[in-house]
């Protein structure tokens, strides 16, 4: 398994997709303040999913915010959109200035420690067809983030640090899976924000 040196603006994927690590877009002080604000102000709830007919409630907590009060469905569970907070709008503006892209929604995840993660998946919901660009901002504990090609099974790992921005673009979701592997080495929480452009069909 190859570990990239996290060169800013270099494509981390060797083929059939584009993943760009912009590095830290916030200072440590700024990231600390944003983590504390998000932890306290976001309307967190335990995530739910229906997998092979089983109803699963995770320790990991989530929240869904968007420009309009539209629902978003993934893993056979529907999330009702919350109204943007001032802090989320500031982060969204920073991401848009950095990437030159615009986003209309954000899925947030709160991992309390390294025991909580995310299994292999791709963000290929029908609502994302308008744009496959996903901006991932991380606050809190540094965690390893992994990609696996759906056909070749080649794996790529990258470490996402406090205040960093990772972009997944192009055909990444079509050809690659990604996950946040659990680890016993991390005892501190992490908050991840994935900004998306959703095409609403309601």
Q: Which domain holds residue 80?
A: 12-196
What is the number of domains present in the chain? 1
Rounded to 5 degrees, what are φ and ψ at 20?
-115, 125
The count of C-alpha atoms lying within 13 angstroms of the C-alpha of 65, restricted to the half-sphere facing its C-beta, is 21
Q: Which two tokens stand for residue 175?
A: 């050809």
Assigned domain for 154 exists = yes
pTM beyond 0.75: the answer is yes
Q: CA 159 to CA 24: how far, in whole Å?
A: 12
pLDDT average, residue stretch 57-79: 76
Assigned domain for 2 exists = no
Assigned domain for 5 exists = no
pLDDT category at 2 given cuts 50, 70, 90 is: very low
Assigned domain for 7 exists = no
pLDDT category at 198 given cuts 50, 70, 90 is: confident
Assigned domain for 6 exists = no
CATH code for the domain of 37: 2.60.120.590
Assigned domain for 93 exists = yes
Assigned domain for 29 exists = yes
pLDDT category at 131 given cuts 50, 70, 90 is: low
Per residue in 23-33, pLDDT (tens digit) is 999 999 999 99
- The predicted structure's pLDDT at residue 132: 83
């Amino acid at each position: 398994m190859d570990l990239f040196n996290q060169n800013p603006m270099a494509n981390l994927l060797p083929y059939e997709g584009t993943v760009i690590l912009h590095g830290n877009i916030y200072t440590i002080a700024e990231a600390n303040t944003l983590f504390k604000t998000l932890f306290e102000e976001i309307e967190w709830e335990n995530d739910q999913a229906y997998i092979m007919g089983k109803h699963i409630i995770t320790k990991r907590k989530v929240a869904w915010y968007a420009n309009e009060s539209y629902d978003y469905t993934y893993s056979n569970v529907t999330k009702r959109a919350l109204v943007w907070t001032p802090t989320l709008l500031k982060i969204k503006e920073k991401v848009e200035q950095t990437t030159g892209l615009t986003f209309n929604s954000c899925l947030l995840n709160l991992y309390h420690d390294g025991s909580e993660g995310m299994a292999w998946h791709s963000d290929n919901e029908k609502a994302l067809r308008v744009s496959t660009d996903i901006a991932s901002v991380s606050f809190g504990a540094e965690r390893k983030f992994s990609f696996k090609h759906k056909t070749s099974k080649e794996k790529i790992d990258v470490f996402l640090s406090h205040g960093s921005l990772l972009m997944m673009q192009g055909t990444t979701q079509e050809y690659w899976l990604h996950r946040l592997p659990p680890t016993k080495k991390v005892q501190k929480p992490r908050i991840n924000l994935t900004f998306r452009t959703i095409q609403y069909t309601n």
